[in-house]
């Protein structure tokens, strides 16, 4: 079986796996230090909450240069990334484990492929990126565990290049715009802001137009919970970093417009009865500020508004930090 056909089978096999986000990676590389193998990988990537980690499925083929499928690894598993997608150009960490079949000229055995390394990625446009990775791989035949591999286990340094594409319209770490909504004039900031949290709201409004940055907590870029945390911190109030933790801050407010005050943290869930996956700040006049894929913006909490009705359907609660 020639490597290009095996790559086709890899793509066909992973197409049946459920997508874990909107990022799909395709990588080609080499395994060095006596292994003399080509590597083909197809991966998905999705955020774990809105922090520094993301997790995805991975399918891998390692094919020896001369022995081909008689000296190979076929497997699938998981990969954890740290600090990925935090900026258009930057490094990230990789750790992964895959279960599969290790072949030799005389046998086929169950094996685990352990991976640990670093990468760097450049994302010139929001939906595409290119990058390089360098990792240490241990092919644990048996398996017995990476701490006591079998004598016939293979290990060494590998390097790869790859492309990453953002596809589909499912909700992701950037909370993409809803397809099908007609264009409406963007909401304007309230003419008057009242309440004890008015200064905090004004600080948040000063960030309108700031780019989205996954994991961002500063004026050069924010994610949803980073914007809320930063706005409060400018007035000496410390909030947790993660949206699921902000959902427990302060006191509970019923999710009805009449109960809201400017500065309240609005909680949204991507799925019915699911956990909190997005946060914003109420600014008054049925509007809230948040960081979406297009950056920091205002949105409406109005059923009559095409985008606003989308948010109303996913609004699950509110919290008041400043009484």
95 and 31 in a single domain? The answer is yes
pLDDT for position 273: 65
d(CA 139, CA 72): 10
d(CA 114, CA 123): 27
136 and 219 in a single domain? The answer is no
Task: Give 30's contacts (C-beta < 8 A, 6+ positions apart).
Answer: 37, 38, 39, 158, 159, 160
147 and 279 in a single domain? The answer is no
In a domain, 178, yes or no: no
Q: pLDDT tens digit string along 96-110?
A: 999 999 888 788 889
For strand 221-222 and strand 217-218, is the pairing parallel, antiparallel, or unpaired? antiparallel
Neighbours of 273 (CB within 10 A): 6
d(CA 135, CA 154): 14
d(CA 36, CA 30): 7
55 and 107 in a single domain? The answer is yes
45 and 146 in a single domain? The answer is yes
pLDDT for position 171: 38
149 and 82 in a single domain? The answer is yes
In a domain, 315, yes or no: yes
| Number of domains within the chain | 2
- Report the number of secondary-structure helices (H) and strands (E) in the chain: 5, 16
141 and 14 in a single domain? The answer is yes
pTM for the model: 0.54
What is the spatial order of strands in the sheet that 287-292 belongs to?
251-253, 315-320, 265-268, 278-284, 287-292, 295-300
Which of 123, 144, 166 is the endpoint of a domain? 166
pLDDT for position 272: 66
CATH number of the domain enclosing 203? 3.90.1720.10
130 and 213 in a single domain? The answer is no
Which stretches in the chain have pLDDT values below 50?
A: 1-21, 168-181
CATH number of the domain enclosing 37? 2.40.160.20
162 and 36 in a single domain? The answer is yes
pLDDT for position 179: 42
153 and 60 in a single domain? The answer is yes
Range of the domain at 155: 3-166
């Amino acid at each position: 079986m020639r490597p290009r056909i095996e790559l086709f089978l890899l793509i066909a096999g992973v197409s049946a796996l459920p997508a874990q986000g909107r990022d799909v990676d395709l990588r080609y590389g080499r395994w060095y230090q006596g292994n003399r193998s080509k590597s083909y990988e197809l991966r998905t990537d999705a955020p774990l909450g809105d922090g520094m980690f993301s997790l995805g499925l991975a399918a891998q083929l390692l094919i020896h240069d001369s022995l081909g499928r008689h000296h190979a690894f076929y497997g699938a598993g998981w990969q954890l990334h740290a600090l990925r997608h935090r900026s258009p150009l930057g490094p990230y960490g990789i750790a992964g484990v895959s279960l599969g079949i290790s072949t030799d000229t005389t046998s086929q055995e169950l094996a685990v492929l352990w991976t640990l390394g670093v990468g760097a990625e450049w994302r010139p446009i929001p939906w595409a990126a290119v990058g390089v990775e360098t990792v240490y791989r241990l092919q644990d035949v048996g398996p017995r565990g990476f701490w006591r591999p079998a004598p016939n286990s293979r290990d060494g340094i590998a390097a790869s290049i790859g492309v990453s594409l953002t596809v589909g319209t499912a909700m992701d770490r950037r909370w993409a715009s809803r397809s099908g909504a007609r264009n409406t004039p963007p909401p304007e900031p309230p003419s008057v802001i009242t309440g004890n949290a008015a200064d905090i709201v004004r600080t948040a409004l000063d960030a309108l137009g700031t780019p989205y940055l996954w994991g961002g907590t500063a004026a050069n870029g924010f994610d949803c919970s980073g914007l809320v945390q930063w706005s409060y911190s400018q007035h000496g109030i410390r909030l947790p970093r993660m949206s699921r933790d902000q959902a427990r801050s302060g006191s509970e407010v019923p999710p009805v417009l009449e109960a809201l005050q400017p500065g309240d943290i609005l909680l949204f869930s991507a799925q019915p009865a699911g956990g909190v996956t997005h946060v914003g700040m109420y600014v008054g006049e049925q509007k809230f500020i948040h960081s979406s894929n297009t950056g920091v913006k205002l949105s409406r909490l109005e059923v009559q508004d095409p985008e606003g009705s989308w948010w109303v359907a996913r609004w699950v609660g509110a919290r008041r930090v400043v009484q």
